[in-house]
């Protein structure tokens, strides 16, 4: 009889102790009573009646999930490999447990398919140059679709876009051709601007003959300052014109 009493007392003590649960600040307990949803409890000390009530623990901290590398084809038919990282957290514990079997696996699988679907609608140049906009598009779609699961997708970041060697060489050639084109455009613009300035200078010098003479003397000074064995003296235009007039009069 005493042994039975001890066993019974032990069972009662174990049951009483199992009624008390402690949940941390970032944890919540979804309570079911006889299979039906009862309430969400926590954090702190809570009581769960054995046999009658069952508790499913849910964490509310942000989860960092690495999206595996996805093979996709862009809109301009380029095959690339893309991987990303997903940040999400549970904001409604009841929905996260009742509306989906495994919210972690469901969110991860949805992130993979959404990443392939969204990035496949864009060309390679957009994929390389507009990552912020593409991150925002993927995040918005995921956040909308996971709302019924009580999940909040806070951010999606594309980490790597891997190309094959032939595509990398093609992009390098394209970048080099673009640099050459810009250099030629800049050079042509400089030549055009210089020609305009020369036309303006010629027009200014033609208005006064003294200006032409001063320019002639300045040119002689520059030639004299150079270390050269041969010096070419330019003849003034006025001198040649006067010489031609003299020959005309003699004829």
Please write the tens of the pLDDT for every residue from 204-220: 666 766 666 666 666 66
State in Å, rounded, how far the first CA of the chain is from the last one: 158
Summarize the confidence of residues 39-46 as an average pLDDT: 91
Residue intervals in the chain for CATH 3.30.479.30: 63-168
- pLDDT grade for 154, boundaries at 50, 70 and 90: very high
pLDDT of residue 164: 76
Nearest to 55 by CA among 93, 88, 92, 17: 93
Percent of the chain with pLDDT over 90: 43
User: Please, is 218 exposed, middle or buried when counting C-beta atoms within 10 Å of its C-beta (0-12, 13-18, 19+)?
Assistant: exposed
pTM score, whole prediction: 0.67
Average pLDDT over residues 178-196: 84
Question: pLDDT value at position 166?
Answer: 65
Length of the chain: 251
Would you state the pLDDT for residue 213? 63
pLDDT at 178: 76
Q: How confident is the model at residue 155 (pLDDT cuts 50, 70, 90)?
A: very high
Name the one residue in this structure whose structure tokens are 């990282």.
85
Domain 63-168 has CATH 3.40.50.620: no
Average pLDDT, the chain: 83
Q: How high is the pLDDT of residue 227?
A: 63
Q: Which among 29, 23, 22, 41 has a CA at the least distance from the CA of 97? A: 29
What is the pLDDT at residue 9? 77
- Residue 3: pLDDT band with limits 50, 70, 90: confident
The confidence score (pLDDT) of residue 200 equals 77
Q: Is the pLDDT of residue 77 over 90?
A: no
- pLDDT number for residue 220: 65
């Amino acid at each position: 009889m005493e042994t039975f009493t001890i066993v019974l007392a032990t069972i009662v003590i174990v049951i009483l102790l199992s009624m008390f649960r402690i949940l941390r600040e970032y944890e919540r307990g979804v309570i079911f009573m006889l299979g039906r949803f009862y309430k969400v409890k926590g954090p702190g000390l809570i009581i769960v009646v054995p046999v009658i009530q069952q508790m499913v623990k849910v964490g509310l901290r942000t989860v960092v999930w690495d999206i595996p590398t996805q093979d996709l084809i862009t809109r301009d038919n380029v095959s690339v490999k893309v991987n990303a990282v997903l940040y999400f957290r549970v904001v409604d514990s009841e929905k996260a447990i009742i509306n989906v079997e495994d919210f972690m696996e469901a969110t991860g699988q949805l992130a993979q398919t959404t990443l392939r679907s969204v990035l496949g609608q864009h060309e390679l140049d957009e994929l390389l140059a507009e990552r912020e906009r593409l991150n925002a598009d993927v995040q918005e779609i995921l956040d909308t679709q996971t709302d019924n699961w009580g999940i909040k997708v806070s951010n999606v970041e594309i980490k790597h876009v891997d190309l094959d060697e032939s595509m990398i060489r093609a992009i390098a050639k394209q970048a080099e051709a673009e640099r050459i084109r810009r250099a030629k455009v800049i050079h042509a613009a400089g030549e055009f601007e210089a020609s305009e300035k020369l036309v303006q200078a010629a027009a200014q010098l033609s208005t006064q003959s003294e200006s032409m003479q001063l320019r002639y003397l300045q040119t002689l000074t520059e030639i004299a300052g150079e270390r050269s064995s041969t010096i070419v003296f330019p003849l003034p235009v006025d001198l040649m014109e006067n010489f031609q007039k003299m020959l005309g009069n003699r004829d």
